[in-house]
Amino acid sequence: MISLFHLAVPVGDLNAARDFYKNVLGCSEGRSSDSWVDFNLFGHQFVIHHVPGYVAKSATNPVDGHEVPIPHFGVILTMDAWCALRDSLHKADISFVIEPYIRFKGEPGEQATMFFHDPSNNALEFKAFANFSQVFAK
């Protein structure tokens, strides 16, 4: 069985979002129109839809001493891919909501995580587990 997710999000400026996902996150572009763009987000189908004037609003929830933006979306990467993305985001001078760090250190579910926003203020989280079997650990 193939298991991929499909996610569609609104963006206020299609060109700025297209540039961000393509050139900052390195997503390859698929089909598109004047109002939406498909991307390959680390093997998953991700679509941005233009909604004029859209700016995401978010709340936060305390997790491990940080205020995690809610809602958010992202992908679980291998640790090598996570480190490469972290390094490329630093080089691109991305402003992090939560700087890259190791969450739940020494506990079940220990993970590398980082949070940042796209140009429409959509919150993204990318994480990695040194031991992938810990993804759902209690």
**Is 93 contained in some domain?**
yes
66 and 120 together in one domain: yes
Q: Is residue 28 part of a domain?
A: yes
For residue 108, what are the domain limits? 59-134
What distance lies between CA 108 and its chain's CA centroid? 23
Whether residue 31 lies inside any domain: the answer is yes
CATH code for the domain in which residue 114 is found: 3.10.180.10
Listed residue (7, 128, 116) closest to 79, CA to CA: 128
* 95/93 Cα distance (integer angstroms): 6
Query: Is 1 a domain residue?
Result: no
Q: Tell me, yes or no, whether 14 and 68 share the same domain.
A: no
At residue 104, does pLDDT exceed 80? yes
Question: DSSP assignment, residue 15?
Answer: H
Comparing CA positions, the residue from 18, 82, 77 lying closest to residue 46 is 18
CB 79, CB 112: distance < 8 Å? yes
128-112-70 Cα angle (round to 5): 90
Please check whether residues 21 and 76 belong to one and the same domain: no
**pLDDT surpasses 80 at 2:** no
How many domains, in total, are found in the chain? Answer: 2
> 19-23, 91-95, 104-108 — which is least confidently predicted?
104-108
With a pLDDT cut of 90, the percent of the chain lying above it is: 84
> Is residue 28 located within the same domain as residue 73?
no
Helix (H, G, I), strand (E, B) or coil at 17: helix
Contact 65, 78 (CB under 8 A): no
Q: What is the CATH number of the domain that holds 46?
A: 3.30.720.120
* Closest among 104, 121, 108, 106 to 17, alpha carbons compared: 121
